[in-house]
Structure 1
Amino acid sequence: MTKSNRTIKFLETERLYLRPVEEEDLDFIYTHALWDKEGRRLTGTQSVFSRKVVYDWFERVSTDSSRIDLLICMQDTDQVIGDISMLEIDHQNRNAEMRVSIFDQAFWGNGYGTEAMALFVNYGFKMLNLHRISLDVFAYNERAIKSYQKLGFVQEGIKRDQLFYDGEYHDSIMMSVLADEFIK
């Protein structure tokens, strides 16, 4: 991470800031974000990634205007602790999808994911003029479900047996929040 990247603070709170993903972050993402066993389970990640795949992903998404990909960083240390994305941004129908991941288990359970989501959802409603933001979460990720509910997300439905992971099928819960339901 270069010094110039540490000063980019696209959105921020007292504890966190969100900044764009830069090419020099890709090795960190490859080594820290993609291989934690429990993180892979919670996100349902089954793919095997190479550095080239990560670089190709970056080339593809960095010019895709239907998405915003950001890193979650600590204010006091500039440490990258996760990533967050707004996907499938549809300005005509005023909706988008979201995903968030905290990479290191040492940062789990401290509200960082909820705080980053609140910051980015607020941006979606106030700056992008979105009306609806949705996400999918696996039913076994109870901590994430509680986090999303704190922000006003409600369950819309269940995709039964959506994920086959570690020899078992798991449901995916569809959730969304509308602009007037969002709890900041």
Structure 2
Amino acid sequence: MLLNLAFLPTHTRNHNQILLNGYQLLIIMTKLFPLVFRCQATGDLIGYAGISSISVLNRSGEYFILIGNKQYWGKGIATEVTKRITDYGFKTLGLHRIELTAFVNNQSAIRAYAKAGYKHEGIKRQSGYRNGQFLDKVQMATLCHEWLAISEEV
């Protein structure tokens, strides 16, 4: 699914809004750089995403996303939001590297990240704890020069 995004000015200096095929996204500019997105038609909160652990010295950060409203799963929103935040991280924040992790059994997320340009780097063994057990996570990342080579698609 192709999603159209447009940055729109708001009344406050530290906020921007994005429209994503009827979904209203609010960007709050901080060192954390979170993004909250909701359905414009219904007002339903869909989820949030952003870049955390931003290191000025290393020019790196860690991407995160949660789409908590399951009715919006499988619609390409995660891939598009990932692309837009990654683009912002490199082109506006000046990052060199953005990384992420996903549980190995979350193949939908891994596919979305790969579609967005992230590359598999390895497995972090038993690095997450869920439902009473330690689980492996996939480590993925993209670098600025890799992103710039494909960012015309965003």
- TM-score of the pair, normalised by structure 1: 0.65
SS of 1:96 mapped into structure 2 = strand
Given that 1:12 and 1:119 are in contact with CA atoms closer than 8 Å, whether structure 2 keeps it comes out as no
**Structure showing greater relative contact order (alpha-carbon pairs closer than 8 Å, 6 or more residues apart):** 1
Aligned counterpart in structure 2 of residue 10 of structure 1, from 17, 26, 38: 17
Structure 1 unaligned spans of 5+? 22-61
- Cα deviations by residue, 1:33-69 (Å, 9 ceiling, x for unpaired): xxxxxxxxxxxxxxxxxxxxxxxxxxxxx9xx53112
Does 1:92 pair with 2:41? no
More strand per residue: 2
Shift of 1:166: 2.4
Aligned counterpart in structure 2 of residue 164 of structure 1, from 107, 129, 143: 129
Classify 1:124/1:15 alpha carbon distance in 2 versus 1 (closer, same or farther; 3 Å).
farther
Classify 1:125/1:91 alpha carbon distance in 2 versus 1 (closer, same or farther; 3 Å).
same
Does 1:179 pair with 2:144? yes
2:26 is matched by which residue type in structure 1?
Answer: R
Structure 2 unaligned spans of 5+? 1-10
2:103 is matched by which residue type in structure 1?
Answer: F
SS of 1:128 mapped into structure 2 = coil
Give distance in 2, aligned partners of 1:180 and 1:17: 30
- How many residue pairs get aligned? The number is 137
- TM-score of the pair, normalised by structure 2: 0.76
SS of 1:66 mapped into structure 2 = coil
Given that 1:20 and 1:70 are in contact with CA atoms closer than 8 Å, whether structure 2 keeps it comes out as yes
Shift of 1:87: 0.4
Given that 1:71 and 1:82 are in contact with CA atoms closer than 8 Å, whether structure 2 keeps it comes out as yes
Q: Percent identity?
A: 32
Classify 1:137/1:80 alpha carbon distance in 2 versus 1 (closer, same or farther; 3 Å).
same
